[in-house]
Amino acid sequence: MEYENHPLLRVLNAQQRAAVTASLGPALVIAGPGSGKTRVLTHRIAWMLSELDVAPWHVLAVTFTNKAAREMRHRLDRMLGDTSTRPMTLGTFHATCARILRREAEVLGLSPNYLIFDTDDQLTVMKQVVADMGLDDKRYRPRSLLNAVSSAKNELLTPEHYPVRTYYDEIVVRAYVSYQEGLRKNDGLDFDDLLMETARLLQTDEALRDRYRDRFRYVLVDEFQDTNIAQYVILKQLALGHRSLYVVADEDQSIYSWRGADCRNITRLREDFPEVHEFLLEENYRSTQVILDGAQAIIAQNPDRTSKYLFTTKSGGYPVVLHEAYDEQEEADYIVLETQRLLRTGYKQSDVAVMYRTNAQSRALEESFIRHNIPYRLIGATRFYSRKEIKDVLGFLRFMLNPDDDVSFMRVVNVPPRGIGAGTVGKVAAEAQRLGTSLYRGLVSLVRSGTLRSRAERALTSFAALVHQWTVLRDELSVARLIDRVLADINFESYVRDGSDKGESRWENVMALRAVVAEASTVSLVDFLTDVALVADVDELADEVDAVTLLTLHGAKGLEYRVVFLAGLEEGLLPHSRSVDSPSEVAEERRLLYVGMTRAEERLYLTYAFRRGWRGYRGSEPSAPSRFLKDLPAEVLKQPEDRQHRGAKPSWSVTSWGTQSRDQRTAEPLPELRFKTGQRVKHTYYGEGMVLESEYEGRQEMVTVVFGNGIGVKKLLSHMAPMEPLPQH
């Protein structure tokens, strides 16, 4: 083939070359992990720019994280040997939509300086909604309501279209309406709004749609299997113009359905673009044959999947190590000691990653890494930008940008403590309500009326004066200077540095923020705040540091490491206890394991603990190893007798599966069932009902109840459901 020696194609195999050089119409690359999907996408962009005369400003490329976007741009710049990709739009859906909406804010009735509300802000607004509606926040948990609203938005369901089946749904709709009002009143959008509003604008405003179709003539998407409906609609609306949509996907790696991702988007794409060209990539360049075999055996058990052929030339490889630890501490120590051993054989710390299902699992690991003096970096958990001192400083910046944002007002009005308590704020709130305006304007009105006289009220007056000055300075000073000014005006340093070690580290954080800002010296305040709001957990990875990476399986998408430890492979963790009752959720948990395993290049360790959290509140229930482990073929595993580093012999192990049933292993008498057939019950959301059946599934009581009011039959977990037996007559 004449192309073979083209510098952009030389480093690709024939299938990859075919995909990269496809014609400009719609294209779908479906391929397994490590087969070069991301590489193909990157080369495709370079190919379009350099060989197909595509202008970079007509390209929109969407990645799953900001970090992936940065890497892709960096690669492109290196490949093309210049910075011609600058005018290209390359980022996550959220970042792209945030920019579009900044431009189109007016149509939505927002100011171009609208703010993006993060999870905490959202919760603040929803709590207020629940309080205003006079609801009991135990029954109607703001967090649950937010989840419901979020799912609705991801499916582009406005309150008017939200399907109401139960009383709870009705509450959701009302909360949804008030919550949106709350956001708009504060000139805010939440993450889901960024997608939903963009999708709706593109659907309803023809002139606007045409403008963006003309702008984004070539749309490319990585990790397409994890797009949600709103994102698909955005892609479709844009691509229906020039019909140049290029996506890469792997259904087996779809792990975000709990956030609305819908891999049926692949089918939708085929329907909406029937002329789509499909490409397969079948060579895996990442992992050894052994790792690949293990991973393939796991995923092969999922129902309803199209199996994909995947091979590697890295035949053989180290066997997969399966390790049973006594508890999570021993598990952590095993991982750390094994890491230490590998470091002595020439691996770098940054070659190693430890992945787990839930953030809480990182604690034992961290302790052990600290104890053994191995540097690690923790992705997620307490994110830099969610630390209190950082949120405070950002709160001031946000408030400065938009003093009518009541959420920020509440955040900063008494930071550092100025003696402004609930009563004083109440007075402001009353004034704001009287005038039908924001808290800040309410405050200004009170100051003008001269009625603020007590000490707390005088504090309010000087606060108002400060804010006024800041809103003037906001347009004159750089973000860095603004921060300096705020820190000085409120004497933040002496507040934060209270003499304790924690205080010192808090102040270091503030200075780190100051440094980030100084680096981005040309950025405007609103752009800075947008960037900060869109930073996701995985984006905090600083690539240069040589440290072991600790991260959740969800955060591991697209990444690769020479050595991977997957910890906590137990029933209840993976699959997660929330998922075990639903076959489709169990299938997703299995994909999560598959994603984790396929991150490994050379060595893969799978660990589980016999008892977890037994020193904590969870009691000493033994845990069972993950059901997925029994699908691992014996050939890929290192045999147990090799595991001499363990002291005690495991009380039972996965290899003994054939001989011992699970119930024998965990044989402890089951407590009496809580519910009996015929028992009348009352459920918080579904109302009154009658138990049809109650039985143990595993060690959990599963109750089947028929409810009135058209709700019908529900299967519920006894210890989870908000449901009480009613007295029998």
| Contacts of the segment 411-416: beta carbons below 8 A, 24+ positions apart | 413/439, 413/460, 413/463, 415/490, 415/495, 416/490, 416/491, 416/492, 416/495
**CB of 36 vs ligand ATP, minimal distance in Å:** 3
Measured in degrees and rounded to the nearest 5, phi and psi for residue 505 equal -70, -30
CB atoms within 10 A of CB 424: 22
Token readout for 132 is 């205003």
Q: Which does 17 bind (CB under 5 to 8 A by kind): Mg ion, ligand ATP, none?
A: none
- In terms of Cβ atoms closer than 10 Å to its own Cβ (0-12, 13-18, 19+), residue 339 is buried
CB atoms within 10 A of CB 693: 14
CB atoms within 10 A of CB 212: 21
Binding flag, residue 549, Mg ion (CB under 5 A): no
Site for ligand ATP (CB under 6 A): which residue of 8, 26, 28, 38? Answer: 38
C-beta of 35 vs 237, nearer to ligand ATP: 35
Q: Output the DSSP codes for 393-444.
A: HHHHHHHHH-TT-HHHHHHHTTSS--S--HHHHHHHHHHHHHHTS-HHHHHH
**CB of 79 vs ligand ATP, minimal distance in Å:** 12
Scan residues 249-268 and list those touching ligand ATP (CB under 6 A): 250, 253
Site for ligand ATP (CB under 6 A): which residue of 8, 12, 536, 654? Answer: 12
Interacting stretch for Mg ion, rule CB under 5 A, among 46-54, 136-144, 551-559, 619-627? 551-559
Buried b (16+ CB within 10 A) or exposed e, 519-538: eeeebebbebbbbbbbbbbb
Binding flag, residue 1, ligand ATP (CB under 6 A): no
Q: Which does 16 bind (CB under 5 to 8 A by kind): Mg ion, ligand ATP, none?
A: ligand ATP
Exactly one of 21, 38, 225, 231 is catalytic; which is it?
38
Distance CA 231, CA 233 (A): 5
Residue with tokens 């399986």: 553
Interacting stretch for Mg ion, rule CB under 5 A, among 31-39, 164-172, 582-590, 704-712? 31-39
Site for ligand ATP (CB under 6 A): which residue of 26, 555, 558, 568? Answer: 558
Distance CA 270, CA 26 (A): 9
Q: Which does 312 bind (CB under 5 to 8 A by kind): Mg ion, ligand ATP, none?
A: none
C-beta of 221 vs 567, nearer to Mg ion: 221
In DSSP terms, 133 is beta-bridged to none
Question: Could you give the C-alpha distances from 93 to 19, 75, 101, 241, 523, in angstroms and in order?
Answer: 23, 20, 12, 19, 21
Mapping DSSP onto H, E and C, the string for 232-300 reads HHHHHHHHHHHCCEEEEECHHHCCCHHHCECCCHHHHHHHHCCCCEEEEECECCCCCHHHHHHHHHHHC
222 is catalytic: yes
DSSP 58: G
Site for Mg ion (CB under 5 A): which residue of 34, 91, 142, 558? Answer: 558
Interacting stretch for ligand ATP, rule CB under 6 A, among 12-20, 310-318, 442-450, 679-687? 12-20
Residues 3/51, Cβ–Cβ less than 8 Å: no
Site for ligand ATP (CB under 6 A): which residue of 15, 35, 198, 552? Answer: 35
Q: Which does 625 bind (CB under 5 to 8 A by kind): Mg ion, ligand ATP, none?
A: none
Site for Mg ion (CB under 5 A): which residue of 16, 35, 38, 349? Answer: 38
**CB of 317 vs ligand ATP, minimal distance in Å:** 15
C-beta of 11 vs 713, nearer to ligand ATP: 11
Binding flag, residue 37, ligand ATP (CB under 6 A): yes
In DSSP terms, 694 is beta-bridged to 703
**CB of 217 vs ligand ATP, minimal distance in Å:** 24
Residues 568/328, Cβ–Cβ less than 8 Å: yes
Interacting stretch for ligand ATP, rule CB under 6 A, among 35-43, 179-187, 257-265, 528-536? 35-43
Q: Which does 370 bind (CB under 5 to 8 A by kind): Mg ion, ligand ATP, none?
A: none
Find how far residue 373's CA is from the centre of its chain. Answer: 30
Interacting stretch for ligand ATP, rule CB under 6 A, among 31-39, 432-440, 468-476, 706-714? 31-39
38 is catalytic: yes
The residues annotated as belonging to the active site are 37-38, 222-223, 253, 599
In the complex, the residues that contact ligand ATP under the rule CB under 6 A are 11-13, 16, 31, 33-39, 250, 253, 285-286, 558, 560
Q: Residues in the site for Mg ion, rule: CB under 5 A?
A: 37-38, 558
